[in-house]
Structure 1
Amino acid sequence: MSSILITGASRGIGRATAVELAKRGHRVIATARDPRTLDGLDVDLRLRLDVTDQADVDAAIAQAGEIDTFISNAGAIFAATVEASPTAEIERLYAQNTVGAIRVAQAVLPQLRRRREGRLLFVSSIAGRTVLPGNAAYSASKWALEAFAETLAVELAGFGVDVTLAEPGPVSSGALDGMLSYSLPDDPYAALFAGGGIPAEMMSSPEQVAAALADLVEQPTVPLRVPIGPVAAHVLAARDTAPYDQPFLPS
């Protein structure tokens, strides 16, 4: 049995992962900005943790006790072309998706290093290695997260602490429902988005992603990057073979 702290466990992938790991007999510490959203989760601890607030992070880690694995899942998203993206919203995404993930990792790492064992599992995305029109800020925050995580993997190699990036494709988690979006007046970019949304058959369920994350918790060793779902595997394989000197658009 491992002791696992999960951020962003109020819904979607985070909540499904908390449920899956608890079913497998692990000690689960589920966290969210509003702990009331964790009601009904059958886990060991339900704690307030806003990844953008250092005091919150410190308090949650102190209450959590021993942690074997940190699953960084908290995040945000909005849709806008680069020209239409409010800089304050870009900063908000970085604060949550990138800086917040590293803030919690920094708080967890001392105990993992002392014990010379543990795992940091960052929930990234295929958007951490690809881009789509209207998705630049989210992708940029995930690309930055991947740089931090890969650097951590190098820095922690001698301390017995594993680092892995889970890269799901599109997930029917509800995060895209009623998503915050911005556009320019008489939007000159409207034609880029005329094709509609992502077909349901291309999406993984939160439970499918949760099972994959739970498997990564339990594996003796893990690779640095793990595509999750057939769409992710297809897109990232195509990305790896695409010309380096040209933009790559998933298909």
Structure 2
Amino acid sequence: MALVLVTGASTGLGLATAADLVDRGHHVVLHARNLARLDGLAVSERAHGVVPGDLAHPKETLHVAEQANDFGRFDAVIHNAGTMDRADAVAVNVLAPYLLTASMPLPGRAIFLSSSMHLSGRPDVDPVLAGHGGTYSDSKLLVTALALALAAQRPGTLTHAVDPGWVPTRMGGPSATDDLAEGHRTQAWLATAPETEIEPRTGGYWHHRAASRPHPAALDAGFQQQLLDALATITGLALPEADPSA
């Protein structure tokens, strides 16, 4: 059974992902903005642990990483937490996944939630990151590039980006037309399936378990490195070195 961290696990796709993994016997550590958000949820009673913290604030994100590290190295981390609020979009959707990755031992697998809206994001690192002023689309382009950069530079960690579709969660709204159940299955599958079932093994951009083509910038090695350099400068943290034995 796998040890899996799911961020944003108190509602929507994160909750569905966590519940699916727990139902299949995996050891799931739940992240939520605060403990009250998990009150009354059946999955919280069955979880392996809980790590609260507001990912809109870097100090709290680092504290989430500290708490998570008490559980040891994760088999998989699912970076599900996200927001469409422009004030926090870059902090939650880009900086938090980067900070968690830079502050924890590299997991066996890392899954980053993207969106089809990343296709309309601006491929400009500095303007988007400066002052955290990027749109939701901008932030999803950057986190997709982050996922694919990690896949390219740290091949020992199987890393993928997932477009869950436009699903009727609190974020997606009641008018969303995609399948809610399908919205979480790909990331749960990528986190736990045998490697032989996943093609590409790493560096995929997925929608409903089918590999798709992301924004060209997300695949560009120069853009990826520019993003990693900017994130390292902003946060003061570089990605962990690759495990030579991986």
Question: TM above 0.5, one fold?
Answer: yes
The structure-2 alpha-carbon separation of the partners of 1:237 and 1:57, relative to structure 1 and needing over 3 Å to count, comes to: closer
Structure index of larger Rg? 1
Instruction: For 1:54 and 1:151, locate their aligned partners in 2 and report how far apart those are by CA, in whole Å.
Output: 21
- 1:1-251 residue pairs with structure 2 within 5 A? 1-39=1-39, 40=41, 41=43, 42-51=46-55, 52=57, 53-78=60-85, 89-90=86-87, 92-110=88-106, 112=107, 118-130=108-120, 137-157=135-155, 160-177=156-173, 199-200=175-176, 202-205=177-180, 207-221=181-195, 222=198, 223=200, 224-229=203-208
Is the 2:162–2:206 Cα contact (8 Å) retained in structure 1? yes
Greater relative contact order structure (CA < 8 Å, 6+ sep): 1
- Alignment deviations for residues 133-174 of structure 1 (CA, whole Å, 9 cap, x no partner): xxx7101001011111111111102xx211111112201111
Letter in 1 for 2:105: L
Q: Please report how far the alpha carbon of residue 199 of structure 1 lies from its aligned counterpart in structure 2 after TM superposition.
A: 4.9
Question: What is the one-letter code of the residue matched to 1:204?
Answer: D
Change (3 A) 1:35 1:165: same
For 1:229 and 1:170, how far apart are their aligned partners in 2?
A: 12
Aligned equivalents of 1:148, 1:16: Cα separation in 2: 24
The number of aligned residues is 193
Q: How big is the alpha-carbon RMSD for the aligned residues of Structure 1 and Structure 2?
A: 2.7
Give the TM-score normalised by the residue count of structure 2: 0.69
Q: Distance in 1 between matches of 2:62 and 2:159?
A: 25
Report how far residue 44 of structure 1 moved: 1.4
Q: Classify the secondary structure of the residue corresponding to 1:214.
A: helix
Question: What is residue 82 of structure 1 aligned with on the other side?
Answer: none
Q: Deviations over 1:48-90 (max 9, x none)?
A: 1333324422332233333110000111104xxxxxxxxxx45
Contact 2:166–2:172 under 8 Å retained in 1? no
Q: Deviations over 1:102-160 (max 9, x none)?
A: 111112335x4xxxxx00111111112246xxxx7101001011111111111102xx2
- Aligned-pair identity in percent equals 28
Helix, strand or coil at the partner of 1:5: strand
Deviation at 1:237, TM superposition (A): 6.5
- Match of 1:227, as an amino acid? W
CA distance in 2, matches of 1:149, 1:75: 15
- Between the aligned partners of 1:61 and 1:48, the Cα distance in structure 2 is 10
Deviation at 1:220, TM superposition (A): 2.7
8 A Cα contact 1:171 1:204, kept in partner: yes
One-letter amino acid of the counterpart of residue 96, structure 1: V
Distance (whole Å) between structure 1 residues aligned to residue 213 and residue 150 of structure 2: 24
In 2: Cα distance, 1:30 partner to 1:50 partner: 13
Deviation (angstroms), 1:94: 0.4
Q: CA deviation at 1:238?
A: 11
In structure 1, runs of 5+ residues without a counterpart are: 79-88, 113-117, 178-197, 241-251
